[in-house]
Structures are given as C-alpha cells and as structure tokens.
Amino acid sequence: MIGKTTVHDNNNRTGKPGGNMLKINKGLRFVTIATGAALLTMIIGSFAHAAGATMRMSAEPSDVGLMHWWAMDKGIFKKNGLEYTFTQVNTAAIALQAIGANSNDVVSLTEPPVVFNVSKGVEVTIVGAVALGQGVFKLVAPTAITNVEQLKGKKVTWMAGTGGEYAWIRYLESKKIPLKDFQFINLEPSEGVPALINGSVDGLWQWEPWPRKAVSIKPDGFHVIATSSDETYQGYYITVVRKQFADEHPNEVIAYMKSLREAADQINANPDEAAEFYAKRLRISVPEAKTAIKDYKIGPQLNNDVLKSLTDVSDYLVANGKVAKKVDWKSLVDAKFLKAVDPKLVKDF
C-alpha cells in the first residue's frame, strides 16, 4: 500500500476501532492538558502496519505539513519507493506521544515536546531538522488591546507542553512579566481560535498558521500584538523517528528525508505554485499563503545549531524543574540518514 492518508481534527475519528488512547500528562506548568475529550483521546495511525516497511508519518498544518502534502501530491514519496500512511494532526506533540505508543513512526516538531517525551522514556532517533521558525509564535488580541500588559488578569489561551508554551514563557521573561499574571486557558490551536473569536478568551498565543487564521476571520476585530524573535525563541522542527523503526528500516528513513528535501526544494523554487497549493489546503487566500510559506525556513539540515537549540531548551526545562533529568541529546542523533541524502546537509557530525 502506498499513500494512505487520514486527517484527525477536534472531532477525531479513526477508520478502525480500538486504537491507542493517548493522553499528555504534563506541560510546562505541571498541569494535565484538558482541552476536551477529543484531544485527550486522539487516536493516531490506527492503520494496519505492514511488518516490512510501511512508514506511519504525521504532520501538523504548517509549512512542515506543506512539505508532506506536496510530496504526496507530486508523487515524490512514491517515486522514492516509500510506502506510507499519513495522519494530519493539529499538534505534532500528539504524534510524538503516538511514537511512544508504537502507533506512529515519524514526526517533526519543536524542541519542548521532544524534551518532555524523551525524558520520560520515549525512544527515538533524531535524524535532523526540517524547518526553522521565523517569528511564528504570535499573540492575537482584540483591536482594543494594543499591548501584552493590557491582558494582565485576563484569559489567554495557549497549549501546555508545546513549543508554543515555551515561546510564550520566554517572551514574557524578556518583558519581565510573570506567567501567573494571566488566566491560563489550556486549549489546542483549533479550539483556541474560535474561543478568541466568540469572546471566551481575551488573547491567543499560538504558532502559525493559527494566528493568521484568527485575524483572517475578523480582520477588523483582531490583530497581532506580540511575536517571538531570535532573542526569545524561534524553534527548529526536529525530525524524530521511532528508534526501532529507524534501526530496522534505514532505507525507508532515507527515502522519507530525501522526499522532504525534494519537496522543500520544489516549494522554494516555485513559490507561486506552492502558494496556490497551500491556499487550497489551508482554505486561505493566495496572498495569505505566500506570507504563510515564509513563516518557516524549510529544508532538512543537521548541525550544531540544531543540537544547541535542543540542548538549550532541555537545560532550561531541567533548571526550572519542569523536567527531572538531563538527556545526552547527541547520543540520540544519527547523521547517516541525512548524509545518505546529501552529505552537504550535515555539518559537525
């Protein structure tokens, strides 16, 4: 079987009964995520997994998802001989939980959920990074609110245990504003946007494309008032593969990374076509899609900058008592997969 696809959203259903029930137990604030039963019981990758080489891949609807959609639509995965199933998830952290439950094989996501899950025993191999955020974490509020200080004491939604929460904490630290100054409403992105629009919350901090979606629904009513930066946190999308799958099926991992590299190259070389393609996927205008494609610098890479970003996030979480123990991240990196795609993509390893 080549190219079976499914989409999981807030009202997730699977095509097969009896999947794995997943729950995220702890975020940066030591809270149990409570974003509705749909999220807590998200079922990932419930397709039959062929013993040989079917890769179960997942991605969220960002530029990382765009690379996957493009590779599927253009037949790149198929050309490279990769059998796969694809699951779209609203938050990639869910798909990493699924790797721990042996119901997913690969996902790319920001550093904090990687740290949380690996420190709790999820076994992965790090094969590189496929994107770097470019100011993708944003705070959206009604137009009457013009700065973050005006949200003190009000309800602000973000999602616990994600790169978004980590970016929010680091942003507030740069402004010397305590996290406790806000009423935390823990919602995943697709729930947070309607909550903001209907007035259930006063502000939304999420990663793109969700802030852009919120503003596009009511452009005269909402605007962006804060953005992440190099001085706070941007976030690499680290590609992690279930360790057993990487050990037993190296050719599939190489084909996967090769396909994402080709997809990224084609997207970068054909921005107008990519914007039209992306606009249809996200149900936004083509001009908005052109902007969205610039949210992330896409394309596989592996170097000390990637490792340092992961290590810095890990060290911060350990130092602040959010994670119990340090992890030797370099020992989890295996450069051979990306080197097999193109040695020039790898430095320092």
Give the mean pLDDT of 8-14.
34
Question: Residue 250 has which token pair?
Answer: 């190296």
| Whether residue 16 has pLDDT greater than 60 | no
| Whether residue 51 has pLDDT greater than 50 | no
Question: Residue 206 has which token pair?
Answer: 């999420």
| Whether residue 291 has pLDDT greater than 70 | yes
Whether the upstream peptide bond of residue 209 has omega within 30° of 0, thus cis, is yes
CA separation for the pair 232, 219 (Å, rounded) = 27
3-state secondary structure 217-283: HCCCCEEEEEECCCCCCCCEEEEEEEHHHHHHCHHHHHHHHHHHHHHHHHHHHCHHHHHHHHHHHHC
Identity of residue 60: E
- Residue 6's pLDDT is what? 53
User: Mapping DSSP to helix (H, G, I), strand (E, B) and coil, where does residue 57 land?
Assistant: strand
Range name among 5-9, 12-16, 169-173, 217-221 with the lowest pLDDT average: 12-16
157 contacts 188 by C-beta, under 8 angstroms? no
Rounded to two decimals, what is the model's pTM? 0.82
- Paired sense of beta strands 296-301 and 84-88, if any: unpaired
What is the overall mean pLDDT for the chain?
Answer: 86
266 contacts 293 by C-beta, under 8 angstroms? no
Q: Spell 6-18 as b/e; 16+ CB within 10 A means b.
A: bebeeebebeeee
Strand order in the sheet with 155-158: 183-186, 155-158, 203-207, 137-142, 222-227
CA separation for the pair 331, 53 (Å, rounded) = 25
Identity of residue 199: G
301 contacts 264 by C-beta, under 8 angstroms? no
Q: pLDDT per residue over 203-261, tens digit each?
A: 999 999 899 989 999 999 999 999 998 788 989 999 999 999 999 999 999 999 999 99
Q: Tell me how crowded residue 176 is: count the other CB atoms within 10 A of its CB.
A: 6
288 contacts 332 by C-beta, under 8 angstroms? no
Q: pLDDT per residue over 321-345, tens digit each?
A: 999 888 999 999 999 999 999 999 9
Note whether 4-132+237-345 and 137-227 share their fold. yes
74 contacts 66 by C-beta, under 8 angstroms? no
- Residue 317's pLDDT is what? 94
| Whether residue 76 has pLDDT greater than 90 | yes
Q: What does the DSSP assignment read for 90-128?
A: S-HHHHHHHHHTTS--EEEE-HHHHHHHHHTT--EEEEE
User: Which class is 4-132+237-345 in CATH?
Assistant: alpha beta
What are the residue boundaries of the structural domains of the chain, listed by start?
A: 4-132+237-345, 137-227
| Whether residue 45 has pLDDT greater than 90 | no
Give the mean pLDDT of 86-106.
95
Q: Which helix (H) or strand (E) holds 65?
A: helix 63-73
- 10 vs 154: which has the higher pLDDT: 154
Give the mean pLDDT of 157-161.
93
Local confidence band at 282 (pLDDT 50, 70, 90 cut-offs): confident
Select from 231, 188, 216, 196 the least CA-distant residue to 292: 216
The domain 137-227 having CATH identifier 1.10.260.40: the answer here is: no
